[in-house]
Amino acid sequence: MVPLWRRVASLEPGPLRAAGGLRVEVDGAAALLARAGTIVVPGWRGAAEPVPDTVCRALRRAHARGARVLSLCSGVFVLAAAGLLEGRRATTHWRYMDALRRAHPGIALEEDVLYVDEGSVLTAAGSAAGIDLCLHLVRGDFGLDAANSVARRLVVPLHRDGGQAQYVPRPVPTEREGARLGPLLDRMRARLDRPQPLPALAREAGMSLRTFLRRFRDATGCPPGEWLLRRRLDRARELLEGGARAAPVEEVAGLCGFGSAATLRHHFRRRFGLGPAAYRARFTGG
């Protein structure tokens, strides 16, 4: 008997043929969706391919009873057709963005992220970003140690820096520019607790401010301020997940360069949908 948590459901008779000619055996149909706690839509046939009403109804019923639903890459079109993304934030692979925006203008699309967590509905940018999203789920469900264990087994980082904009085709930075920005990014990570004004960063990189801002975005996919904010929030999450060793929110704010607990709370809620104290409670049981 295959455990429910790793069964494959299809509302069409199987086996299914996936991309690359792979054949996927099916374990069941709508009855599996009716029992599942988490449903993953790994992809769809294409942006212009209609999603059957039976699939949409099954997903809506599952979500309404409390199931968590997530999509990987083009699977976002299935969630969108089911109406589960209307008025929510979502993402998909950069090459599907325009088609999704035209077909479903009510979705708040985020282009420069690897995944979006809206609580009961989650979306990943692409196939590899699906690994990032699933590690995020493991981290939230089972804690940092479990997520680290899975990441090590997969030989992938627990969290990748930056968003998918860095993978959109663009001119490759020259070797000289890469050599200057790489070490600078390392130094910026090492001093997250300190102010890092843009003119000082540009001087450190040996560039004019205008050139620095352009080259930084080309290399990372976002401006320096946004890049620093993401790194600081990542560091704050690590400190808050310390279990019995978790630092107080005020201390975390100082160590991560937010200056005050109020500023940390503002950015944390905006990015993750809950405050740092509530986030810490997930990992400490408090």
Quick check: 179 and 168 in contact, CB under 8 A? no
Sequence-ordered list of residues with C-beta below 8 angstroms from that of 93, at least 6 positions apart, any chain: 73, 74, 125, 126, 164
Structure tokens at 110: 């985020």
- Distance between first and last Cα of the chain: 37
Helix (H, G, I), strand (E, B) or coil at 108: strand
For residue 4, what is the DSSP state?
Answer: G
Comparing CA positions, the residue from 129, 124, 130, 132 lying closest to residue 151 is 132
- Residue type at 153 in one-letter notation: R
222 noted as active-site residue: no
Give CA separation, 263 vs 34, 68, 102, 228, 266, in Å: 42, 31, 36, 14, 5
Q: Degrees (nearest 5) of the Cα angle 276, 282, 286?
A: 90
- Residue type at 131 in one-letter notation: I
Q: What is the CA radius of gyration of the chain?
A: 21
For residue 71, what is the DSSP state?
Answer: E
The rounded distance, in Å, linking the Cα atoms of 185 and 79 is: 37
Which one from 56, 73, 134, 222 is the annotated catalytic residue? 73
126 phi and psi angles, rounded to 5 deg:
-155, -170
Structure tokens at 203: 């001087």
> Distance from CA of residue 98 to its chain's centroid?
19
Q: Which residues are catalytic?
A: 73
